[in-house]
Chain A
Amino acid sequence: MAAAATTGKQKWGWGTANTVAVALTLIPLLWIVSLSFKSPAAITDANPWPKYWTWSNYSGILKTSQFIRPLINSIGIGIIATIIAVLLASMAAYAVARLDFPGKRLLIGMALLIAMFPQISLVTPMFSIERSLGLFNTWPGLIIPYIAFGLPLGIYILSAFFREIPWELEKAAKMDGATPLQAFIRVIAPLAAPGMVTTAILVFLFCWNEFLFAISFTSTLTSRTAPAALAFFSGSSQFTSPTGPISAAAVVITIPIIIFVLFFQRRIVAGLTSGAVKG
């Protein structure tokens, strides 16, 4: 019976730990949701739940181009950067997994280096570069650095996937008369599809949430993304703080992510673990 007692204790221990962890992450989120439904006067009433529910914060932000336009920018920049990053990463990962070429270790090392580089140290030089190249405050001005930071992640995940695909399949495709490109597109890529989806999700999440570059390399609504736009919200007069609209906007931009993750949850987990076990 000692064993049963231990498992009972363990259950309690894990249960408590999980509850604490979930509470720690959920409370700030719920607080923001609650704020987004409060009227401006009630924001500071320290009440955890709004007394009078109001949609005014939501209707306010959804009427102004201050939010709609950045939302479009976010979606556009995120999708373009994701597609290009996954395409490039799959080719690079394929080479890393299958070919032995001079400088392979260097390439992997560089990819790792980029992934670990503190972004803040790049902001100033990149700002100057983007200014002189005319990329400042444009979509490409954000898409290019996003691709650069999405690639290492993509190469790592995808090369693990490619390594798991038996090499004989490619030989078989060659024998069946496929060119290397046909073999890749018709045989290898479909099999690596779960890896590509995982990579796409993670790169898109990164682009969607990115704040530092978004706020540094944009100056107007033409290219500002949603997280950056939040920081520029103003109150209805200079004496009101825009807490309500910011909370509402934060909730709005979180919703697609939640849907996304719930929908692809199993894929992400499967993708990450299969990459981890055989990497």
Chain B
Amino acid sequence: MADIVLDQVTKRFPDGALAVDKFSLEIADGEFVILVGPSGCGKSTTLNMIAGLEDITEGELRIGGKVVNNAAPKDRDIAMVFQSYALYPHMTVRENMGFALKLAKVPQATIDEKVNEAARVLDLTQHLDRKPANLSGGQRQRVAMGRAIVRDPSAFLMDEPLSNLDAKLRVQMRTEVSRLQRRLGTTTVYVTHDQTEAMTLGDRVAVMRGGVLQQVGSPQELYDRPDNLFVAGFIGSPAMNFMPATLEEGSLSTPLGAIPLTPRQRQALERANVGRQVIAGIRPENFEDAALVAADARQHGITFRTTIDVLESMGSDVFVYFAQERNQALDVAQLAELAQDSGRADTGASGETMVARLDTATRVREGQEAELWADTRSMHIFDPDTGTNLTTGAEPAVAAGAAT
């Protein structure tokens, strides 16, 4: 058991590329921390630096209070689960799991005992004498986990361990990983590009972009109070809707109409002292079919009419997509990067499509005009130049459904 401290850790590759820039994070003993971000954001490099598989260019890495910048991986007492599992194909499951202990010259009886115990926990007992090639994806994944836990290390590092599994198994293993971590109480750093995994697994989530740490916090904090456009767009599924807005007297003129500002929002904007152009962000969850909103609740948001392009019924929710009429395009690097990551840039769909989550009781039909309502109390307002969230102090999201 140990805490991990990254102090201004920087990675610069020999070709000059800056992969991780002054990354500082304190991971407490027993904590489960997720590093999340789009591909190429430096999250895997950071993990590899903690593991000792990559050199640290600048800064200090401490595990259990000891500076380990120059320690070899084997001297750091950490175990790693790889995306490809990296099981040794020529060894049986038993040998795979016992390999580290064998290298450490642990007596064979102890190895057997620990491997059997880990196999029991992971439900692998009947597969111990098989080779990895004869196992299913989920079983291989469990062997990779088993290889890490038999060593009883002071920390686990996991590099997208579930991304090779099919969707159903991934959800199942996600719970499994979570349960295992709670049971063992071992400090864990988990890298993923999947925001759902990040939200569901971690005690705390660290969002990275372009080698820079954007924000660290509990999943709920990141969801309620994103520090900037990037975090706001990355956390949450479907993603937050962004639209250009102009500050008027006491209200915000947006493509959806004039949005009255709450006193808190107004104060925050005055304090920030930005120009008239801002970016407004509303989560899909904050929309509702206006017909389902009580009249007295409507005053907390705006009601607008729009044509529904696509309607997706998920059973528990209904998602509707509609175009947003606007006279100016949002041209912000952070949003462009998000679009790139989600593949929206490739499919040709522009950011002008908005998505709303409605109650299943809605009568809204595809291709027809509908009246929607948006709760704007939890609206976020961003500085278009820096992407900073100007309303971080705003009230937490109020579920739209609660207003009915």
| Chain A interfacial positions (CB closer than 8 Å to B) | 166, 168-169, 171-179, 182, 186-187, 190-191
- Checking A169, A172, A182, A186 against B80 with a beta-carbon cut-off of 8 angstroms, the contacting residue is A172
Is there a chain A Cβ closer than 8 Å to B90's Cβ? yes
How many residue pairs link A and B with beta carbons under 8 A? The number is 54
B185 → A minimal CB distance (Å): 21
User: When chains A and B are docked, how far (Å) is the Cα of A178 from the Cα of B88?
Assistant: 13
Give 8 closest A-B pairs by Cβ, nearest first: A177-B74, A176-B100, A172-B86, A168-B86, A175-B80, A177-B103, A190-B90, A174-B73
Closest residue on chain B to residue A193 by CB atoms: B90
Cβ contacts under 8 Å, A174 to chain B: 52-53, 72-74
Q: Indicate if the CB atoms of B89 and A191 lie closer than 8 Å.
A: yes
A182-B88 contact, Cβ under 8 Å, with A172-B82, A175-B73, A175-B80: no
Known: A175-B51, A175-B73, A191-B89. A168 touches B100 (CB 8 A): no
A100 to chain B, nearest CB (A): 9
B103 touches A178 (CB 8 A): yes
At the interface, yes or no: B104 with Cβ under 8 Å from chain A?
yes
Q: How many angstroms between the C-alpha atoms of A65 and B22 in the bound complex?
A: 76
Residues of A contacting B: mostly: helix
8 Å CB contacts to A: which residues of B63-87? 72-74, 78-80, 82-84, 86-87
With A175-B51, A190-B90 in contact, is A168–B103 under 8 Å at CB? no
B77-118 contact mask (Cβ, 8 Å, vs A): 1 or 0:
011101110111110000000011001100000000000000
Q: Which residues of A contact B80 (CB under 8 A)?
A: 171-172, 175
Closest chain A CB from B193 CB (angstroms): 17
Q: Which residues of B sit under 8 angstroms from A182, Cβ to Cβ?
A: 103
Q: Taking the complex as formed, is B209 at the interface, i.e. its CB lies under 8 A from any CB of chain A?
A: no
* Contact between chains at A187 and B88 (CB < 8 Å): yes
Instruction: Tell me whether B147 is interfacial, beta carbon within 8 Å.
Output: yes
* Residue positions of B touching A, CB distance < 8 A: 51-53, 72-74, 78-80, 82-84, 86-90, 99-100, 103-104, 147, 151
Chain B: minimal CB distance from A152 (Å): 28
**A166 contacts B86, CB within 8 Å?**
yes
Of all chain A residues, which has the CB nearest B144? A172
Q: Can you offer 27 A-B residue contacts whose CB atoms are under 8 A?
A: A166-B86, A168-B84, A168-B86, A169-B86, A169-B88, A171-B51, A171-B53, A172-B80, A172-B87, A172-B88, A172-B147, A173-B88, A174-B73, A174-B74, A175-B51, A175-B79, A175-B100, A176-B99, A176-B103, A176-B151, A177-B73, A177-B74, A177-B103, A178-B74, A178-B103, A186-B99, A190-B90
Of A172, A179, A187, most B-chain CB atoms within 10 Å: A172
Can you add 6 more A-B contacts, CB < 8 Å, to A166-B86, A176-B74, A178-B103? A171-B80, A174-B52, A174-B73, A176-B103, A177-B103, A178-B74
CA distance A166 to B89 in the complex (A): 11
Please give, as numbers and ranges, the residues of chain B lying within 8 Å of A175 by CB-CB distance.
Answer: 51, 53, 73-74, 78-80, 100
Q: How far is the CA of A4 from the CA of B376 in the complex (A)?
A: 74
Q: Which residues of A contact B99 (CB under 8 A)?
A: 173, 176, 186
Complex Cα distance, B54 from A246, in Å, reads 62
Task: State how many angstroms separate the Cβ of B142 from the closest Cβ of chain A.
Answer: 15
Which residues of B sit under 8 angstroms from A166, Cβ to Cβ?
Answer: 84, 86
Report how far A169 CA is from B79 CA in the complex, Å: 14
Contact (A171, B103) CB under 8 Å given A176-B147, A178-B74: no
* Closest beta carbon of chain B to A16's beta carbon, Å: 43
Q: Which residues of chain A are near B78, meaning CB under 8 Å?
A: 175
Chain B residues with CB under 8 Å of A173's CB are: 88, 99
| Docked CA distance A166–B72 (Å) | 21
Q: How many Å from the CB of B169 to the closest CB on chain A?
A: 21
In contact, A177 and B100 (Cβ under 8 angstroms) = yes
In the assembled complex, how far is the CB of residue A79 from the closest CB belonging to chain B, in whole angstroms? 25
Partner pick for B86 among A171, A177, A178, A190, CB 8 A cutoff: A171
